[in-house]
């Protein structure tokens, strides 16, 4: 009897556990079904929570500020064509503002136009003009203020003090904007695109002219600058300081006051850019000041006063660049060390290399020099005698600039021939031991 009761008890316990397990499994299946139905309904049904608000002179809502006040996060404001002069417009919600018919947002030469104080904001298709000039405040057409994931795209900016000013922002895209500055004195002109203490910003496809600096970076990291056209800016086409791990690719910097300045930074990559016609008594294509562990490759430097000017820079690789018709292709100050110049083309420059030191701690190898007069007996494409790229005449000009008037004279030709035959004053350590016989393609 006892054995029978124990058996019945075990059976009842097993049945109870089985029923409990089946019940729990049933509840799980019901929950999964509810989730799947909800997900399917969400995919099949449009999201009506996003609202479109139309702002226009013939609409119920006639001001941008009123539209922003009525909007909620995720909404979209459509600004119709017309002129809107509303002072400083603060965007404190995650919204998209789209212009239709090129609406003009006018700062009336007094105000900052848009101040963005919310993340996930998009501004697109607007004409923004006349942000006020001020000696106290950096008024901007658009200020991105300590937020993230904002997009400024396909806008036209005309005659603003600063244009796009981004402070302590991250993960933003500034793309395909046209920026036209005052083209007046530096004191009354701000920067086209200005980044301060920013992270992970992409600046792509913009056209900037007439500003103080076309693009300016300070204390920013991991910034990518690509496919921009920066021309006729008063000071620099691009200027960045204390900004590590930045890259700029395939940009054009043409006819700016002093070209491009890259200063006090590390791990910078500069590839495929064009530096052209940055010409003047204190101008250059590219200035390197206290740059370390960086690379300059596949750039085109054409008709600049100085192609590359390097001071206080170390461990910089300069390779596969083309220097054509510059006054001076490369000027290396004594404070620049341990940089490598390989596979570059030097063609039609008045002077290829100049330095203010009798010794060089930089290395030149396997470059093409159109001034090279050597030979290649074994036909391996490498000159059989080394090339000294520093001319004695360039050192004379450094000490006595008026001597430049003799540049094309027969006397200078004789001086160059004598120096090649009996090098005495030019730095023997600055030499290309493997000059190429053909240009690098």
For residue 383, count other CB atoms closer than 10 A to its CB: 21
Is the pLDDT assigned to residue 429 strictly greater than 80?
no
- 126 is a domain residue: yes
What is residue 412's predicted lDDT score, i.e. its pLDDT? 61
What is residue 424's predicted lDDT score, i.e. its pLDDT? 56
Whether 196 and 251 map to the same domain: the answer is yes
Mean pLDDT of the chain: 88
What is residue 416's predicted lDDT score, i.e. its pLDDT? 66
In whole angstroms, what is the distance from residue 305 CA to residue 40 CA? 65
Higher pLDDT, 282 or 166: 166
Whether 241 and 277 map to the same domain: the answer is no
What is residue 406's predicted lDDT score, i.e. its pLDDT? 65
What is residue 430's predicted lDDT score, i.e. its pLDDT? 86
Q: For residue 126, which of 147, 105, 110, 148 has the smallest C-alpha distance? A: 105
Whether 186 and 77 map to the same domain: the answer is yes
Percent of the chain with pLDDT over 90: 73
- 5 is a domain residue: no
* Mean pLDDT along residues 171-180: 98
| Predicted confidence (pLDDT) per residue in 358-383, tens digit | 777 899 999 999 999 899 999 999 99
Is the pLDDT assigned to residue 12 strictly greater than 60?
no
Whether 233 and 273 map to the same domain: the answer is no
Residue 368, classed as helix, strand or coil, is strand
Is the pLDDT assigned to residue 34 strictly greater than 60?
no
Pairing of strands 247-249, 269-271: parallel
Q: Provide the phi-psi class of 108: left if phi over 0, else alpha when psi is between -120 and 50, else beta.
A: left
Q: What is the DSSP string of 236-294?
A: EEEEEES--S-EEES-EEES-SS-EEEEEEES-EEES-EEE---STT--SEEEEEEEEE
Q: For residue 348, list its beta bridge partners.
A: none
Higher pLDDT, 102 or 6: 102
Whether 137 and 238 map to the same domain: the answer is yes
What is residue 7's predicted lDDT score, i.e. its pLDDT? 47
- 15 is a domain residue: no
- 292 is a domain residue: yes
Higher pLDDT, 59 or 419: 59
In whole angstroms, what is the distance from residue 165 CA to residue 181 CA? 14
Helices and strands, number each (H, E), in the chain:
4, 38
Whether 440 and 377 map to the same domain: the answer is yes
Is the pLDDT assigned to residue 168 strictly greater than 90?
yes
Number of domains in the chain: 2
Whether 228 and 169 map to the same domain: the answer is yes
| Predicted confidence (pLDDT) per residue in 385-425, tens digit | 999 898 766 666 666 667 666 666 665 667 666 666 666 55
Q: Provide the phi-psi class of 55: left if phi over 0, else alpha when psi is between -120 and 50, else beta.
A: beta
In whole angstroms, what is the distance from residue 163 CA to residue 12 CA? 80
| Predicted confidence (pLDDT) per residue in 283-336, tens digit | 999 999 999 999 999 999 999 999 999 999 999 999 999 999 999 999 999 999
- 28 is a domain residue: no
> Is residue 77 a contact partner of residue 59, using CB atoms and an 8 Å limit?
no
> Is residue 104 a contact partner of residue 83, using CB atoms and an 8 Å limit?
yes
Is the pLDDT assigned to residue 204 strictly greater than 50?
yes
End residue of a domain, out of 257, 290, 323: 257
- 291 is a domain residue: yes
This prediction has a pTM of 0.84
Q: What is the CA radius of gyration of the chain?
A: 32
In whole angstroms, what is the distance from residue 260 CA to residue 142 CA? 24
Whether 356 and 375 map to the same domain: the answer is yes
Higher pLDDT, 388 or 6: 388
What is residue 407's predicted lDDT score, i.e. its pLDDT? 67
Q: What is the CATH number of the domain that holds 209?
A: 2.160.20.10
Whether 207 and 63 map to the same domain: the answer is yes
Whether 194 and 277 map to the same domain: the answer is no
What is residue 392's predicted lDDT score, i.e. its pLDDT? 66
Whether 253 and 109 map to the same domain: the answer is yes
What is residue 21's predicted lDDT score, i.e. its pLDDT? 54
Whether 374 and 320 map to the same domain: the answer is yes
End residue of a domain, out of 227, 257, 287: 257
What is residue 92's predicted lDDT score, i.e. its pLDDT? 98
End residue of a domain, out of 221, 236, 257: 257
- 401 is a domain residue: no
Is the pLDDT assigned to residue 180 strictly greater than 70?
yes
- 44 is a domain residue: no
| Predicted confidence (pLDDT) per residue in 81-138, tens digit | 999 999 999 999 999 999 999 999 999 999 999 999 999 999 999 999 999 999 889 9
| Domain of 83, in residue numbers | 49-257
């Amino acid at each position: 009897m006892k054995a029978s009761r124990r058996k019945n008890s075990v059976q009842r316990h097993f049945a109870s556990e089985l029923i409990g397990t089946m019940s729990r499994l049933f509840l799980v299946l019901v929950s999964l079904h509810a989730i799947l139905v909800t997900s399917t309904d969400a995919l099949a049904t449009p999201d009506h929570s996003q609202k479109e608000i139309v702002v226009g002179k013939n609409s119920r809502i006639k001001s941008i500020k009123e539209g922003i006040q009525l909007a909620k996060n995720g909404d979209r404001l459509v600004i119709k064509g017309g002129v809107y002069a509303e002072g400083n417009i603060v965007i404190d919600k995650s919204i998209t503002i789209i212009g239709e018919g090129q609406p003009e947002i006018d700062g009336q030469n007094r105000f900052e136009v848009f101040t963005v104080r919310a993340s996930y904001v998009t501004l697109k298709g607007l004409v923004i003009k006349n942000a006020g000039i001020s000696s106290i405040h950096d008024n901007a057409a658009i200020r991105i203020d300590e937020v993230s994931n904002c997009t400024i795209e396909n806008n036209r900016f005309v005659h603003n003090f600063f244009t796009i000013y981004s402070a302590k922002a991250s993960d933003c895209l500034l793309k395909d904007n046209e920026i036209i500055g005052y083209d007046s004195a530096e004191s009354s002109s701000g920067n086209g695109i200005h980044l301060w203490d920013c992270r992970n910003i992409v600046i792509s496809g913009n056209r900037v002219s007439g500003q103080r600096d076309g693009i300016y970076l300070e204390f920013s990291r991991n910034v990518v600058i690509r496919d921009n056209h920066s021309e006729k800016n008063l000071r620099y086409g691009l200027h960045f300081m204390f900004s590590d791990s930045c890259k700029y690719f395939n940009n054009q910097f043409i006819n700016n006051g002093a070209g491009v300045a890259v200063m006090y930074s590390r791990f910078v990559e500069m590839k495929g850019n064009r530096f052209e016609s940055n010409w003047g008594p204190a101008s250059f294509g590219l200035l390197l000041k206290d740059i370390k562990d960086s690379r300059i490759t596949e750039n085109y430097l054409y008709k600049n006063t100085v192609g590359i000017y390097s001071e206080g820079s170390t461990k910089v690789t300069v390779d596969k660049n083309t220097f054509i018709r510059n006054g001076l292709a490369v000027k290396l100050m004594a404070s620049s060390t341990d940089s490598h110049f390989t596979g570059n083309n030097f063609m039609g420059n008045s002077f290829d290399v100049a330095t203010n030191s009798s010794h060089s701690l930089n290395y030149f190898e396997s470059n093409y020099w159109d001034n090279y007069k050597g030979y290649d007996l074994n036909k391996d494409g490498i000159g059989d005698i080394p090339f000294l790229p520093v001319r004695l005449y360039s050192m004379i000009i450094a000490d006595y600039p008026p001597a430049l008037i003799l540049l094309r004279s027969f006397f200078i030709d004789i001086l160059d021939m004598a120096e090649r035959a009996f090098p005495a004053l030019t730095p023997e350590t600055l030499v290309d031991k493997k000059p190429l016989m053909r240009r690098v393609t």
